[in-house]
Amino acid sequence: MWVNGKPVKSSQLDRGLQFGDGHFTTLTIEQGRIRWWSSHWHRLQDAARQLNSQLPDESAVRELLLDIASSQPDAVVKIIITRGYGSRGYRVTGEPGCNWYVTTAVLSARDTTALSTDFAEFRLACQPHFAGLKTLNRLEQVMLSQERTRRGLDELIVLDNRNTVVEAISSNIFWRVGSQWYTPWLNQAGVAGIVRQRLLADNVLGQVQVCASGPGDISSAEQVFLCNCVLGLRPVATIGHHRMTESFLPEAVQQWWLASKDS
């Protein structure tokens, strides 16, 4: 095998690199505390169960995170889990195992400026088996990010190939019509983000209607915001030519975000 034109002794590659055979989560450490660790670990467990793969010992991962927190009190941490090394071919051979990788980056200040958005031209494929999971197969998001840059927008609202609203490029979406809040079903495509999960579980917005909606439904929204563990909460000002009547974050959601810092 050769890497960057130079021969190496090993003939095996990580299956995460070969096939995207793995999953990940991205969390934050804020003021020395791991934010929402239990939710992130449950996400990794759910993905491993669905992909029929292994996980490292939780205590080993958490110990490393605590070490990181002691030297980087405000950081973005990405945990990648793969099925381990393998030779060519899709078939899984040998004893079950995994590789896990952890990277860190600086946690930047979160920007809550209202976003200029539009519906993406690129569509997500529907695959119910992987729906909701954060697998390593992120080529769709790479293409969407390129489209966002090309179109000069702050963000894109992404549809699947059935023309159903799913999410933003790397965030989940909530919108309000009248007094009713909505968020998309994620049973065909998309990622079930941690912030989305907790907003729904904590009933922050009241009884949110989780539904399959088309562009016409969200185009009548009065208020829209996006949510992501790293980027935080971001209000939407426009979707195409439609301007929100309220282009700011709901007060209840802002207060919840500031208070929800359990580890």
Maximum alpha-carbon separation in the chain? 64
| Contact partners, residue 18, CB within 8 Å, separation at least 6 | 86, 88
103/194 Cα distance (integer angstroms): 19
227/215 Cα distance (integer angstroms): 19
**With contact defined as beta carbons under 8 Å apart, do 159 and 124 qualify?**
yes
Residue 164 falls in the annotated catalytic set: no
User: Which entry of 28, 117, 134, 183 is annotated as an active-site residue?
Assistant: 134
Residue 78 falls in the annotated catalytic set: no
30/110 Cα distance (integer angstroms): 12
User: Which entry of 25, 82, 155, 167 is annotated as an active-site residue?
Assistant: 167
Output the six-digit token pair for 239: 């979707």
User: Which entry of 25, 26, 117, 183 is annotated as an active-site residue?
Assistant: 26
Residue 6 falls in the annotated catalytic set: no
Amino acid, res. 25: T
Output the six-digit token pair for 173: 């979406």
Catalytic residues: 26, 134, 167
